[in-house]
Amino acid sequence: MTARSEKPIRVVLSDDHPLFLEGVRSLLEIASDIDIVGEANSGARALRLITDLKPDVAVLDISMPSSNGISVTKQLVAAGSPTRVVILSFHDDRTFVREALDAGARGYVLKRSAGENLLQAIRSTYGGGLYLDPAITEQLLPPADSTKRRSDRNGGLAQTLTDREREVIRLIALGFTNKEVAGKLGVTAKSVETYKLRASEKLELHTRTKIVQYAVLQGWFRELPC
């Protein structure tokens, strides 16, 4: 059971492959802390279900008829939906991972991965974190020949961060919202936005994906609870 609540995590599933959807449902039904409240076989149907049911977590196939998982995620974020999105995908290419993260997804899991990865993704995102399938984490790293240069440069820039700026950018990278970070640190959401802006400027991190890349290099994802 998660630390946030004794209530089960309410989940909506969406995938246009019936057999795969059945397999995911069977996996999640075994988990006592997860309650499947709706299923959809298209992006449009998923968006309506999520809007109506307001689940804690939505597990969305990246490729669906009418509207794909990334498009649905963008629409949910634009509407201010509190539902956290986990993307399920066959694609391990960094382009898809970046698009999903930039759209606002809190998790990215490969369909070929073990079922436990999806369970961890749902629990981590519900708890406020961000989950990346271990098999794709390296996809967010810069090319091998530039990793050391970027690490050295960011390491130097990181020394200019205040303790509060570092903690804010760490929590943001791990998927927590400004409001959640404010609650954890005992400051206002406006102050969090200011710290985030300052840290992003100092580290030259101007997109969500860049912030996550930095978090990967720092090893912050190893600190995430399951």
> Residues 156-188: pLDDT tens digits?
556 688 999 989 988 888 777 888 889 889 999
3 falls within a domain: no
Residues 81 and 148 in one domain: no
CA nearest to 25, candidates 226, 126, 64, 35: 35
Residues 98 and 153 in one domain: no
Question: Amino acid letter at 141?
Answer: L
Residues 28 and 96 in one domain: yes
Buried b (16+ CB within 10 A) or exposed e, 121-135: bbbbbbbbbbbbbee
165 falls within a domain: yes
57 falls within a domain: yes
127 falls within a domain: yes
Residues 164 and 134 in one domain: no
pTM recorded for the entire structure = 0.70
Residues 29 and 133 in one domain: yes
For residue 225, pLDDT over 50 is answered with no
Using CA atoms, how far apart are residues 130 and 128, in angstroms rounded to an integer? Answer: 7
> Residues 121-155: pLDDT tens digits?
999 899 888 888 877 766 665 554 444 444 444 44
Residues 22 and 103 in one domain: yes
Q: Which band of pLDDT confidence, cut at 50, 70 and 90, is reported for residue 6?
A: confident
Other Cβ atoms less than 10 A from the Cβ of 219: the count is 8
Other Cβ atoms less than 10 A from the Cβ of 93: the count is 12
- The last residue of one of the domains, among 139, 158, 193, is 139
Local structure of residue 140 (DSSP, 8 states): G
Inter-residue contact 58 to 146 (CB < 8 Å) = no
3-state secondary structure of 225: coil
Q: Give the domain range for residue 118.
A: 9-139
Residues 118 and 211 in one domain: no
